[in-house]
Amino acid sequence: MTKIISVANQKGGSGKTTISMLLAGVSAQRGWKVLVVDADPQATATRWASAAPEDEPFPATVCGLAAAREKIHREVRKYVGAFDLIFIDCPPAIDSPVPMSSFMIADLALVPVLPSPADVWATRAIETLISNAQDFNESLQARIVPNRVKDNVVIARESLEFIRSNFRIQCTRSTLGDRTAYQQSVAMGTVVNRLKAPKAAGEIEVLANEVLNLLEL
Ligand SMILES: Nc1ncnc2c1ncn2[C@@H]1O[C@H](COP(=O)(O)OP(=O)(O)O)[C@@H](O)[C@H]1O
Ligand SMILES: [Mg+2]
């Protein structure tokens, strides 16, 4: 049974591509057949995979389907059966039809959110979208993933507390810190456990455990 995860938030820079690629990479290293559908015309995920050295390719397959737009669910369905896990890396545009289309076929929506007031406000829109999608796709689960968390910054701590207590979507237990290894992994076309970055690698392992557990894998 192929599991589909849509990584979405209309706000740019919240960590959609980072979380899609790193969860996909680590799941592939664990032996699952994993596809990342790059649904963003900016093609960051595709560039990430193409930045990998020839002798050490990115562990998951990445394909660009941004042009399918509102028909993305139909295109993704063609890969069901060929992969164990499909991550859909959604574009940030507020008016894009891709998040809603992807929620129609997804088992899990992951919503990366930066703990800052502006990002918290923007998350209301995706919360409504997920709630509407659940009217059609009753088995759609959803989790907010707090990203770039800085425990020592008061406004970040307060924003995270607000997210935890004011959204209908639960937060994942695991959070990602603000770490340069996440940026290095993009530039080098790799996953964090191939860099000398034990903290980042540990965070991704823990988040992957939680996500695969939600999907009963
Ligand atoms: N936890 C993190 N720590 C440090 N940098 C991060 C982290 N998450 C994302 N970034 C960086 O922030 C930028 C935006 O992240 P990205 O995943 O591309 O966001 P999105 O796909 O939502 O637009 C990228 O430069 C990425 O490397
Ligand atoms: Mg992106």
| 216 pLDDT more than 90 | yes
Number of domains in the chain: 1
Q: Which of 190, 183, 189, 191 is nearest to 207 (CA)?
A: 191
Q: How many whole angstroms separate alpha carbon 20 and alpha carbon 113? A: 14
Domain that holds residue 85: 3-205
In a domain, 215, yes or no: no
Q: What are phi and psi of 11, to 5 degrees?
A: -75, 130
Q: What are phi and psi of 175, to 5 degrees?
A: -130, 160
114 Cβ closer than 6 Å to some ligand 1 atom:
no
In a domain, 30, yes or no: yes
In a domain, 109, yes or no: yes
pLDDT at position 13: 96
Instruction: Quick: pLDDT tens for 98-130.
Output: 999 999 999 999 999 999 999 999 899 999 999
The helix/strand/coil state of 170 is: strand
15 Cβ closer than 6 Å to some ligand 1 atom:
yes
46 Cβ closer than 6 Å to some ligand 1 atom:
no
| 72 pLDDT more than 90 | yes
185 Cβ closer than 6 Å to some ligand 1 atom:
no
For 113, left (φ over 0), alpha (ψ -120 to 50), or beta?
Answer: beta
In a domain, 59, yes or no: yes
Q: How many whole angstroms separate alpha carbon 150 and alpha carbon 31? A: 32
Ligand 1 nearest-atom number relative to CA 92: 23
Confidence of residue 151 (pLDDT cuts 50, 70, 90): confident
CB 59 within 8 A of CB 23: no
**Partners of 4 in the β-ladder:** 86
pLDDT at position 93: 85
Residue 11 belongs to domain with CATH number: 3.40.50.300
Centroid of ligand 1 to alpha carbon of 182 (angstroms): 7
Q: Are strands 170-171 and 141-146 parallel, antiparallel or unpaired?
A: parallel
In a domain, 171, yes or no: yes
Centroid of ligand 2 to alpha carbon of 14 (angstroms): 8
In a domain, 57, yes or no: yes
CA 80 distance to own-chain centroid: 18
CB 205 within 8 A of CB 26: yes
Percent of the chain whose pLDDT exceeds 70: 100
In a domain, 48, yes or no: yes
pLDDT at position 94: 81
Ligand 1 nearest-atom number relative to CA 147: 1
The owner of tokens 């207590």 is 165
In a domain, 216, yes or no: no
Centroid of ligand 1 to alpha carbon of 11 (angstroms): 12
CA 194 to each of CA 22, 29, 35, 71, 200: distance values in angstroms, whole numbers, following the listed order: 11, 11, 19, 35, 11
12 Cβ closer than 6 Å to some ligand 1 atom:
yes
Q: Are strands 34-38 and 61-64 parallel, antiparallel or unpaired?
A: parallel
Q: How many whole angstroms separate alpha carbon 109 and alpha carbon 211? A: 10
